[in-house]
Amino acid sequence: MSNLSSEEVMRPTLNIPVELQASLLHERTVTNSMVPGLRLDTVPHRQRIPTASQIDFRVKLLRSLRQGWKGDDTEAKFLQLVDMIQTDGCGLFGGLIEEAIFEKLVTAYDKVQVQSGNNAFMHSYVNLAVEHNFFLGGEYIEAFSHPLLVALISYLLGGSIRIVDFRGKDNNPLSINAQDNMLHVDNTPFKEEYKVLLNWRRGQVKGPSGQNFTFLPWTHKGNRDILVDAEGLPWSTERDSLFVSHDAINGLFEFQKQVKGSSSVVEAKHPDQPLAIVFPAGALVHHRYRTEEGDPRSCIITAFHLSSKHPGQISDLPPISGRKKSLIEFLVGHQDENSNDELLDLLSSESSRIEDKLNQLLQPSHPSKLIDIGPLALKGERLIQWRNAIVSAPSPVVHKYNNNLRLSDADFSNLNVLTERLAAIMDYDKHCNLQMILYKDGREEIRKPGRKIIGEMKKDNIIARLKPWTPELCPGPFSAHDLVDPKTLRIFCDAVAALAKHLAQDPNTEGEGNEPERMTGQRKMFMSLSRLMMDLGEAIMRCEGVEAFLATTLFLFLTSEEIYSHLDESDKRAIRFMLVIFLRNYVAAVLLVEATVSSQS
């Protein structure tokens, strides 16, 4: 085909009879009739540290803080905030730091976005865990890691905490149903997670004028549905964490009435000041209410886990000697079950500043504000609009088609044009939701760094990765044989995952540690990719819906290609055919979905 004249165009051929196309797609996109919901009887599955250990830590924390507190009512003020978050599931803090200091954050953050943002169609993502100059750059980091916030979260969880996810996102006004924009609960039903979400109007010291954090109070009192396997072991999936139908929303409202007596949806609308939000992300139903209204928004997302339940580190900082760690250095560094005393010492040294901030928040005339959620509840027409956005906002696939991105229109005789078109299509499909397994023992945690590498890959990087592989798309048409049986794909996934695990265990691989929670550097990344590949093999067996099917088949190729790029030549030769199968399987899936959509319309 490479000898065709420049004027001759060759479109891809899908040699699957029209009457078989819908059934082939249906076989690979099974439908689960169960509506995701919240329950009280699954709450015991959420693993917490023992109550006695929680109480012991909380007593020690308050004792440490009291040493620097002057006011007789300071402890009561601190516990007032604790009670607010425990009751409503959220705390909203406006103007937590001075405007002049926040302006420095805006400047530093915008610089990071220019240098490292991925500029995808849906958002521009940056991994802040590797941006040491940013998070060690000054006191502006207290906008999302103020000692008061750290003290509150550690008290609520009952132990030492560490940062497990640290990212920034820029968002333009856009109506879309994908990822954080969908009504959801984060992480897993088997662990606790708190987040600090810092929102502001891009480039300004103001709150967002759109795309506001929106949540359902009191939903953190329940837990998601828990499944049980053939051996009686509990598990769950990311699909059970999404509430995107009217039936699911009605179920959430009924749950609120069960635990509180009424239902409510709160849009955290505070346009005058940057807004810091503290909430139990692994329990509270929430989302980014994304519409076409308002100005571009910036945000920093910082997730916290108990160090004892999730030991490890998120950043590789140089060793510190001759001085005590700063609070942020502690939070991003390695922590485990032995970290309580160090955190208590750090917070004790910040006790006077914690007291000052408590007094400021509860003083009506001060710029730092504790925001009442009552007046922010959606009512009437605004509530109806919100419901319709949850259920009917277009998916990444719809946006892809609206932008006339179809692979069936591509010229397969021009490899450069084909590569560009395929990369553009992948840039949309990778934002569709995966429906990956969540294990009771939390073994999926290690896959998150690898997933971010794949899911937030820049379009230019996708193009570079694709170029050696697009020639494999040209010989002959695509047929049902290219849509490989999911069981076979799973076998291939396990084989590629084993090679990634071997890379992680190779003594010549950069990094330290032998256990996943102790690994650093490349070693940790290879173990992450190995787990990701294994779990993708499990997920391809039970995709629900077209978006999950496309995203999973795409991730099979991109993840295996990332692993392939690090292998020695003999291992590359051994598995090259698998990557060709993964790529042709994805392309056949894209063509099949396009053909099915065309026939239906």
pLDDT band at 3 (very low <50, low <70, confident <90, very high): very low
pLDDT above 50: residue 179: yes
Q: What span, in angstroms and rounded, lies between the C-alpha atoms of 501 and 513?
A: 13
DSSP string, 412-436: TT-HHHHHHHHHHHHHHHTTSPP--
pLDDT above 90: residue 513: no
In the chain, the percentage of residues whose pLDDT exceeds 90 is: 88
Q: Average pLDDT, stretch 259-275?
A: 98
pLDDT of residue 4: 44
pLDDT of residue 7: 56
Q: What span, in angstroms and rounded, lies between the C-alpha atoms of 574 and 5?
A: 35
Residues 6+ apart with CB under 8 A from 54: 48, 157, 158, 159
pLDDT above 60: residue 22: yes
pLDDT above 90: residue 565: yes
3 state SS of 25:
helix
pLDDT above 90: residue 288: yes
Dihedral class, residue 545 (left if φ above 0, else alpha if ψ from -120 to 50, else beta): left
pLDDT of residue 70: 97
Q: What span, in angstroms and rounded, lies between the C-alpha atoms of 190 and 192?
A: 7
Which class in CATH covers the domain with range 39-381? mainly beta
3 state SS of 223:
strand
Which range has the worst mean pLDDT, 273-282, 374-383, 396-405, 515-524? Answer: 515-524
pTM exceeding the 0.85 threshold for the entire prediction:
yes
Residues 6+ apart with CB under 8 A from 84: 91, 370
Better pLDDT: 506 or 571: 571
pLDDT above 90: residue 289: yes
Q: Average pLDDT, stretch 326-344?
A: 97
| Nearest residue to 277 (alpha-carbon basis) of 321, 358, 215 | 215
Q: Where in the chain is the domain with CATH 2.60.120.620?
A: 39-381
Q: Which whole-number Å values give the CA distances from 272 to 94, 144, 456, 463, in the listed order?
A: 8, 18, 31, 41
pLDDT band at 467 (very low <50, low <70, confident <90, very high): very high
Strand partners for 298: 170, 200
pLDDT above 80: residue 145: yes
Q: Average pLDDT, stretch 489-497?
A: 98
Q: What pLDDT digit, counting tens, does each position of 517-550 carry?
A: 556 688 999 999 999 999 999 999 999 999 999 9
pLDDT band at 126 (very low <50, low <70, confident <90, very high): very high
Output the six-digit token pair for 320.
């510190």
| Mean confidence (pLDDT) of the chain | 94
Q: What span, in angstroms and rounded, lies between the C-alpha atoms of 408 and 10?
A: 10
Q: What span, in angstroms and rounded, lies between the C-alpha atoms of 596 and 521?
A: 44
Q: What pLDDT digit, counting tens, does each position of 62-116 carry?
A: 999 999 999 999 999 999 999 999 999 999 999 999 999 999 999 999 999 999 9
Q: Buried b vs exposed e over 535-568: b needs ≥16 C-beta within 10 Å? A: bbbebbebbebbbbbbbbbbbbbbbbbbbbebbe
pLDDT of residue 507: 77
pLDDT of residue 279: 99
pLDDT band at 320 (very low <50, low <70, confident <90, very high): confident
| Nearest residue to 198 (alpha-carbon basis) of 85, 114, 78, 95 | 95
In the chain, the percentage of residues whose pLDDT exceeds 70 is: 96
Q: How many helices (H) and strands (E) does the chain have?
A: 20, 17
Q: What span, in angstroms and rounded, lies between the C-alpha atoms of 411 and 9?
A: 6
Q: What pLDDT digit, counting tens, does each position of 99-111 carry?
A: 999 999 999 999 9
pLDDT of residue 131: 97
pLDDT above 50: residue 1: no
Q: Which CB contacts under 8 angstroms, 24+ apart, belong to 518-522?
A: 518/311, 518/312, 520/313, 520/316, 521/316
Q: What are phi and psi of 102, to 5 degrees?
A: -65, -30
Q: For residue 450, how many other CB atoms are within 10 A of its CB?
A: 24
